[in-house]
C-alpha cells in the first residue's frame, strides 16, 4: 500500500524552485466538509439564554431583600457590582472563543528572501511527512505536533482540545483554550456567589416570614436551585480541565490512549507482523489493554505543573495578567512545538518492547 508523498505536489524547475500546493491553505480546510449553517448557532443562543434568563429574578431578590427588607443598599450595590463584573468577564471570554480562530494550520508567509519556510520543509528529504501525524490527508497540509483534524469543522486545529457545539460549533484550540477556561471559571464563580446569596435570603425568609414579600422566597429558591445545578456542572467541567492543565494534556490526548502509538520508537524488524508504528486495528485485545494501561503513565508533554501552567496561562509583557483576568487571553508560543517529558521516551521504548513480545506469543 503506497502512502501519500507530499513531494508529488512539488515541481522543481531550474534554476528556481516552483512550489504548487493544491488546494491553497489559509486556513486549511477539507473541501468535502459541510458548511456551517444557521442551526449550528442554536446551542450558542441557548447558552446565552441560560446565562441571561435568571437576571430579572436575581435583581428582584437583591432589591426586595437587601434594599427593602434589611435596608442594606451597600450590600445591594456590592452584589450587583460583583455579579455583573463576572458576567462582563463571561461574555468577554465567550466572544473570544466564538470570534477568534482556535489555531490555524497554515503555510508560513514568505520570508525576506522570498522563500517559503514550509516549502523548504517539503522539499527537504530529511523531513518525513509520510509518518503518522505529520501530514493531514483530509485538508491536504502539514499537521504540526499536537494538531488534530476536526471532521465537523473540516480543518486541522493547533493543539486541538475538543469541538464545542455550545460555542458556535467551533473547536477549542491553542489560541482559545485559556479563554475557554476563563469562561468556565467565571460561570462557576458567579453561580456559586448567586447560590450563597439567595440561600441566605431564603433562610432569613423562613426564619422571619412576616417581614418578607411572599414572592421573594419563590425567586430565591428558584435561583438557588438553578445556580447550584450550574455550579456542579460547570465546576466539574472546569475541575477536569484544570487537571488536564496540571498534566499538560488535551481532552483528545486524555481520552484517546492509542494516540501514543504514533510516538513509539522503531520496532524490531523481525518477529512481528505489526506496522511501524503499530495501528490500533492491528492490536490484539491484550495489546490494546497494554496500551491503555501505559497511557495512564506516559505523559509526553508533562514538564512539571509550573511549566505546564505557564504554557497555558503565561504572558510575555508586564501587564499580561490584566488580559488573563479580563477574558483569559491566548496561550503563549506558536502552538506547533512543545517541550517533551524526558522520562516518556524510556516508557515508550518499554511499551514498544512489550507490544512486540506480546505479538510473538
| Contact partners, residue 251, CB within 8 Å, separation at least 6 | 161, 162, 241, 244
User: What cell numbers appear for 121 in the block?
Assistant: 520543509
* Residue 28: per-residue pLDDT: 52
Which residue(s) pair with 17 in the sheet? Answer: 12
Measured between alpha carbons, how far is 124 from 203 in angstroms, rounded to an integer? 72
* Residue 254: per-residue pLDDT: 95
At 17, the pLDDT band (50, 70, 90 cuts) reads: very low
What is the DSSP code string of 30-86?
-TTSPPP-GGGGHHHHHHHHHHHTTHHHHHHHIIIIIIIIS--HHHHHHHHHHHHHH
User: What cell numbers appear for 240 in the block?
Assistant: 477536569
The per-residue pLDDT for range 183-196, each reduced to its tens digit, is: 999 999 999 999 99
H-helix segments, 144-277:
177-207, 215-247, 251-255
| Contact partners, residue 19, CB within 8 Å, separation at least 6 | 9, 10, 11, 116, 119, 122, 123
The per-residue pLDDT for range 232-281, each reduced to its tens digit, is: 999 999 999 999 999 999 999 999 999 999 888 888 766 677 887 888 88
Mean pLDDT of 81-98: 96
Measured between alpha carbons, how far is 54 from 44 in angstroms, rounded to an integer? 17
pTM for this prediction: 0.83
Measured between alpha carbons, how far is 327 from 97 in angstroms, rounded to an integer? 10
* Residue 114: per-residue pLDDT: 37
* Residue 51: per-residue pLDDT: 95
Measured between alpha carbons, how far is 83 from 55 in angstroms, rounded to an integer? 10
- List the end-to-end C-alpha distance of the chain, in Å, as a whole number: 27
SS (H, E, C) 287-316: HHHHHHHHHCCCCCCCCCHHHHHHHHHCCC
Measured between alpha carbons, how far is 251 from 249 in angstroms, rounded to an integer? 7
- In the chain, helix, strand, coil percent, each to 5? 55, 5, 40
Residue labelled with grid coordinates 501587564: 319
At 2, the pLDDT band (50, 70, 90 cuts) reads: very low
User: Which contiguous run of DSSP H or E holds residue 19?
Assistant: strand 17-19
C-beta separation of 258 from 280 below 8 A: yes
User: What cell numbers appear for 136 in the block?
Assistant: 493531514
Amino acid at each position: 500500500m503506497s502512502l501519500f508523498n507530499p513531494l508529488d505536489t512539488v515541481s522543481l524547475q531550474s534554476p528556481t524552485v516552483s512550489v504548487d500546493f493544491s488546494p491553497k491553505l489559509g486556513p486549511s480546510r477539507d473541501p468535502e466538509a459541510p458548511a456551517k449553517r444557521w442551526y449550528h448557532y442554536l446551542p450558542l443562543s441557548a447558552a446565552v439564554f441560560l446565562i441571561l434568563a435568571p437576571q430579572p429574578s436575581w435583581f428582584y431578590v437583591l432589591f426586595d431583600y437587601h434594599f427593602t427588607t434589611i435596608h442594606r443598599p451597600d450590600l445591594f450595590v456590592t452584589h450587583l457590582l460583583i455579579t455583573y463584573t463576572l458576567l462582563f468577564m463571561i461574555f468577554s471570554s465567550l466572544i473570544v472563543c466564538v470570534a477568534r480562530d482556535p489555531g490555524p494550520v497554515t503555510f508560513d508567509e514568505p520570508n525576506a528572501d522570498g522563500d517559503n519556510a514550509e516549502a523548504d520543509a517539503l522539499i527537504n528529504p530529511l523531513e518525513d511527512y509520510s509518518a503518522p501525524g505529520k501530514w493531514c490527508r483530509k485538508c491536504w497540509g502539514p499537521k504540526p505536533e499536537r494538531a488534530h483534524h476536526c471532521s465537523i469543522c473540516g480543518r486541522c486545529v493547533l493543539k486541538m482540545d475538543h469541538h464545542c457545539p455550545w460555542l458556535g460549533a467551533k473547536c477549542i484550540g491553542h489560541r482559545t483554550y485559556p479563554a475557554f477556561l476563563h469562561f468556565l471559571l467565571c460561570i462557576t464563580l458567579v453561580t456559586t456567589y448567586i447560590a450563597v446569596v439567595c440561600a441566605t435570603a431564603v433562610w432569613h425568609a423562613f426564619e422571619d416570614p412576616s417581614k418578607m414579600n411572599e414572592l421573594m422566597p419563590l425567586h430565591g429558591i428558584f435561583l438557588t436551585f438553578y445556580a447550584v445545578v450550574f455550579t456542579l456542572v460547570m465546576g466539574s467541567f472546569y475541575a477536569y480541565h484544570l487537571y488536564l492543565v496540571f498534566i499538560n494534556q488535551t481532552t483528545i490526548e486524555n481520552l484517546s490512549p492509542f494516540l501514543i502509538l504514533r510516538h513509539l520508537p522503531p520496532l524490531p524488524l523481525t518477529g512481528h507482523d505489526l506496522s511501524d508504528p503499530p495501528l490500533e486495528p492491528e492490536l490484539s485485545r491484550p495489546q490494546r489493554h497494554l496500551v491503555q494501561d501505559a497511557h495512564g503513565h506516559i505523559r509526553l508533554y508533562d514538564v512539571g505543573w509550573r511549566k505546564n501552567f505557564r504554557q497555558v496561562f503565561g504572558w510575555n509583557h508586564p501587564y499580561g495578567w490584566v488580559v488573563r483576568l479580563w477574558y483569559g487571553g491566548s496561550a503563549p508560543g506558536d502552538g506547533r512545538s512543545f517541550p517533551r517529558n524526558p522520562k516518556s521516551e524510556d516508557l515508550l521504548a518499554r511499551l514498544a518492547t512489550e507490544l512486540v513480545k506480546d505479538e510473538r506469543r
